[in-house]
Structure 1
Amino acid sequence: MDELSTIFLALADPTRRALLAQLQQGEATVTELAAPHSISVPSVSRHLKVLEQAGLITKSRSAQWRNCRLQPAPLQKVEEWMGPYRDFLGNRLGRLDAQLAIAAERPDARPNRRIDDDRLPATGSKLHPYPNSCCITAVGIQSVD
């Protein structure tokens, strides 16, 4: 698996994203990282192992403590990969903002509305969009005329 796929795989899990968010505050031990979660310390360790394999964190050992630290380099690779997509979406959102501004300036403009059936002329009328309509019921096909 390529490096970018490994990073995205690690980021796909909400618990791992929460652990990364905690590490944004600074270095922390596995026990400190596990405290706010409703999962066991060994489960957090498994999540940290996935993050470590993706290069998103590093672990160091100090006596009996295992400290974890966020590594920004893989996130910068994700940022670089997303750049063209951000530009594309930015242009589209910019056009949407412009369209909404134009719509706000025109108070007489109304959004497209669905024509309700009760506003349609009676079935069989020459004005009805489907003059020879029928409907399918549980009993069978019946003419609406």
Structure 2
Amino acid sequence: MNSQSRNNRPGWRRALTGTLAGGALAAAMMVSAPASQADVLDQIGARYMQGAGGGQISVFVEQSLNLRAQGFRPSQENLVALQEGYDFLPNQSRLLDALKSTVAYQRKVQMQAAMSGGGGPSVKAPAWVPPGDNNPWLGPEYDINPYD
């Protein structure tokens, strides 16, 4: 009996140690996790859109935020460049270049969406039914193959 109770104690200690280590690891990952796209753009916007006369950065941040609100999100590469530019402050050259490329990418995606027209062709060909098919749902006008 004595040996069984000794075997349970190390298991309980192992479980407690594993739980504490797992919790510490999860907390460390949450603290060091990369910022999402909303966080990066919102951080930059909060820093540069306060008051009047924010300069070029505030103009590009405003454009990027407006395009994101319309559904044209920046690419993952743009987000990485924005984060690197934000980390490189007070030198604003990298952040300005990253914002320019982000807005350019968002405008390109916006133009592609406008050019596509939102879907397939506007005039669709009728479904072809072989001649002599007694389909009660289609009239005789659909007996002509539109693909010949």
TM-score, structure 1 as length reference: 0.24
More helix by share: 2
